[in-house]
Amino acid sequence: MIRKGYSDGPFGQVHWRMLEPKGAASKPDLYCLHPAPFSGLAFTTIMPYLAQDRCIFAPDYPGHGGSDAFKEEPAIEEYAAAMMAVVDEQSSGGAVDLMGFHTGNLVAAEMALTAPEKIGHLALIDVPAFDAETSAKFRAASARTFEITSDLACLEGPWERGMTKRIESQTMERSFEMFTEQLRPGRLMNKAFHAAFSYDVEARLPAVKHETLILASQSALLDATRHAAEIMPGATFIERLDIKRAVLDEAAEKTAAEVLKFLDRRSS
């Protein structure tokens, strides 16, 4: 059963989810870093597939999910500091592994750079490693706050993305809980995107020295993920173009298998 809890972080309380393996944990803890603007809820489908021989944690960034509210202009470095506070409190038995998805990949990279001795290996899935021009364009668009009005029309964008365009394999209940989760940051819903597009991927990703898996699915981030592999030449790069959607849900078993294959070879 997935348990929930809180840790004190540098910016307030951090909410997390945790799943223990059925038997004894013999591998390093694995921390799952979520995409914007969601929370650790994004990993609840895949967590049972990952929790074979290790404890799985899925924390919420400040300002997201059940964590305390945060400032107007957050930075990836601050998200990383908040996540490291959870690691320090919950995992004192050695270096932990990190798995990121979308924005979570940047948080994972920053954690590895700021506390290298506390991090073992990284598994980065669909990395937003955009070129400077693309990042600048998206950064400008994401700088706007989400306008909340008394008109239901203000929710049309999130509703269309989460409900109208949901895939058939995703239940209405799962789609709805993810829809409501993305609303929890309120007017600051776009700010994690802004933090991601403000992060210097060209300088920071190549500086990561940990053994890293870069896993690309057939998604809108395919080219950006390929670029991440180019600027991190020491990483293990795998393309799973048969995974075309719902990497953490419909394709959870496939995704977990690739991640564990990489991590288990390095922790045995």
Higher pLDDT, 88 or 170: 88
State the pLDDT confidence band at 210, using cuts at 50, 70 and 90.
very high
Domain range list for the chain: 3-267
Q: pLDDT over 70 for what percent of the chain?
A: 99
How distant, in Å, are the alpha carbons of 29, 57, 106 from that of 254? 20, 19, 22
**pLDDT confidence tier of residue 211, bands split at 50, 70 and 90:** very high
pLDDT digits (tens, 9 = 90+) for 136-183: 888 988 888 999 999 999 999 999 988 998 888 889 999 999 999 999
List the beta bridge partners of residue 5: 16
Q: Which residue has the higher pLDDT, 6 or 162?
A: 6
5 or 265, greater pLDDT: 5
DSSP string, 162-215: IIIT--TTS-HHHHHHHHHHHHTTGGGTTHHHHHHHHS-HHHHGGG--S-EEEE
Contact, 17 vs 44, CB < 8 A? yes
Considering only residues 54 and 143, tell me which one the structure prediction assigns the higher pLDDT: 54
Please report the beta strands in the chain, taking only residues with DSSP state E, as ranges in sequence order: 3-9, 12-19, 30-33, 56-59, 96-101, 119-125, 212-217, 236-240
Is the pLDDT assigned to residue 268 strictly greater than 60?
no
Yes or no: is domain 3-267 CATH 1.20.1260.10? no
For tokens 């395919």, the residue is 222
The confidence band for 267, taking pLDDT boundaries of 50, 70 and 90, is low
Rounded Cα distance between 80 and 231, Å, is 21
Which pLDDT score is estimated for 266? Answer: 64
pTM of this prediction?
Answer: 0.95
The DSSP bridge pattern shows strands 12-19 and 30-33 to be unpaired
The average pLDDT across 111-140 equals 94
